[in-house]
Amino acid sequence: MVLQRNTEINFWGWGGANRPVKVIGSWFKDTVSTKVDYNGKWTVKLPAGQAGGPYQVKIISNNETISLNDILLGDVFLCSGQSNMEWGGNQNLKEIMDELPTANNPNIRLLQVSRIAANYPQEDINNSWTTLSAETLKPFSAIGYFIAKELNKELNVPIGVINASWGGTGAEVWTPNHLIVNDPFLLKYAKMQDVNPYRPHEGGVLWNSMIHPYAGYNLTAAYWYQGESNVGYYPSYDKLMKALVTAWRNAWNNDFPFYFVQIAPYAYNSKGEPKGALLRELQSKTALELQKTGMVVITDLVDDVKNIHPNQKKEVAKRLSDMTLAEVYDKPIKNYKSPIYKSHEIKGNQIEVSFYYAEGGLKSKGDITELEIAGADNKYYPAKGTIKGDKLIVQSKEVKNPVSVKFGFSETAMPNLFNSRGLPVSPFRF
């Protein structure tokens, strides 16, 4: 396994009630002692240690000894979501299949959490940590692996990744159910989730079984790629994600960074309104309003808008890794976040748009696409966009007195406006 370096380590288990427990680790000098409580559980904090290993831990209670070998101290990450986080070699993803022949780094450890739901919070899982190999990588998350590979290369410390993902699942199943049933707004939309023979749909059931068992296992950050299954019920998504992230952090008693992927362009064929774009809009809201979060935009990484599973997972992972390296490790990476709409100012027949995270300026590949403008009549016309440093100037001969703009605001839009580093501007409207 990998245990989190440079911090007191939460370490726990079970035993006979009131029995003494001693924990001895090869990276710390003094024995850590406790007693099993009346519920049969014990918990200790192991001393912090620097990155390295392999180490050993012995747990002794009466005449029983458990030895854990080949433990590394490094950085631990949690990956979760639906199929775009889950996908890898089992789906013949080419980027992973190309990695299999050389996948043998002993400083990368993987924990694949089995797909299983539960009606009540669970205390344990039936899965074990594994060392990276072709065999262990094939069923693992491609995004999780490429994050681990990048961080291990850049930091030169052991990396552990926990993957708890299930294709097709809504965010409700990953959120403690009491937060949903006690909120009429969240409950209304949770009840709209379709019953499907291939995935659970009831609130909290994967939180109970695939997240709760290791709540408290020290983490550096969490990654999330999900949202496609909430498109049909988009109005609750921002509030739901804020509830999910806050609940996870509370369970860990740690405000760890939470980085997520904005859903990709895809032809959902929503009738009457562009629900995919509306969910992306709420994801942007979450990214701006929830502390210690960041959003990766991938409107430029889709080959086929009729395929809900874009093939380019390596670049998604690179963008998540860069965000982590910049914010968690203070690496000098500039312009690592996609610009998000901030404000606008009407200047005659033009509208000047300002952005968060556009300090390095904007650029486009040719004339800016997927840009529309409207006046008070709310009739939208194709617009011309001009870049002025870190601002976007929008206008149209058809609209003399503009009041609103849409950029990339459709389900399948793949616009061509980027920051100076080549990261796409998040779609927006006002």
Question: How much is the pTM?
Answer: 0.97
| Residue count of the chain | 430
81 and 67, same structural domain? no
Do 235 and 117 belong to one domain?
yes
Is there a single domain that holds both residue 274 and residue 225?
A: yes
Domain span at residue 17 reads 2-72
Pair 166, 234 in one domain: yes
Q: Is residue 304 part of a domain?
A: yes
Q: Give the end-to-end CA distance of the chain in Å, rounded to a whole number.
A: 48
Same domain, 62 and 88: no
Of the residues 327, 357, 379, which one is the last residue of a structural domain? 327
Give me the residue label for tokens 């939180």: 207
302 and 368 share one domain: no
Which among 23, 80, 59 has a CA at the least distance from the CA of 212? 80
Closest to 234 measured CA to CA, from 291, 150, 171: 171
Considering the domain architecture, whether residues 246 and 378 belong to the same structural domain is answered as: no
Q: What is the CATH classification number for the domain harbouring 172?
A: 3.40.50.1110
- CA 91 → CA 94, 108, 133, 140, 223, distances in Å? 9, 22, 17, 10, 21
From 287, 303, 327, the end of a domain falls on 327
Q: Residue 374 — φ and ψ, nearest 5°? A: -145, 155
Q: What local confidence, expressed as pLDDT, does residue 64 receive?
A: 97
Contacts of 300 by beta carbon, 8 Å cutoff, 6+ apart? 414, 416, 418, 424
pLDDT of residue 269: 87
Per-residue pLDDT of the chain (430 residues; tens, 9 = 90+): 999 999 999 999 999 999 999 999 999 999 999 999 999 999 999 999 999 999 999 999 999 999 999 999 999 999 999 999 999 999 999 999 999 999 999 999 999 999 999 999 999 999 999 999 999 999 999 999 999 999 999 999 999 999 999 999 999 999 999 999 999 999 999 999 999 999 999 999 999 999 999 999 999 999 999 999 999 999 999 999 999 999 999 999 999 999 999 999 999 989 889 999 999 999 999 999 999 999 999 999 999 999 999 999 999 999 999 999 999 999 999 999 999 999 999 999 999 999 999 999 999 989 999 999 999 999 999 999 999 999 999 999 999 999 999 999 999 999 999 999 999 999 999 9
Q: Are residues 93 and 222 in the same domain?
A: yes
Written in H, E and C, the secondary structure of the chain is: CEEECCCCEEEEEECCCCCEEEEEECCCCCCEEEECCCCCEEEEEECCCCCEEEEEEEEEECCEEEEEEEEEEEEEEEEEECHHHHCCHHHCCHHHHCCHHHCCCCCEEEEECCCCCCCCCCCCCCCCCEECCHHHHCCCCHHHHHHHHHHHHHHCCCEEEEEEECCCCCHHHHCCHHHHHCCHHHHHHHCCCCCECCECCCCCHHHHHHHHHHCCCCCCEEEEECCHHHHHHHHHHHHHHHHHHHHHHHHHCCCCCEEEECCCCCCCCCCCCCHHHHHHHHHHHHHHHCCCEEEECCCCCCCCCCCCCCCCHHHHHHHHHHHHHHHCCCCCCCCCCCCEEEEEEEECCEEEEEEECCCCCEEECCCCCCEEEECCCCCEEECEEEEECCEEEEEECCECCCCEEEECCCCCCCCCEEECCCCECCCEEC
Q: Is residue 308 part of a domain?
A: yes
C-alpha 176: how far from its chain's center?
A: 17
Whether 44 is in a domain gets the answer yes
- Cα 381 to Cα 85, 107, 180, 359, 375: the distances in Å are 37, 54, 41, 29, 9
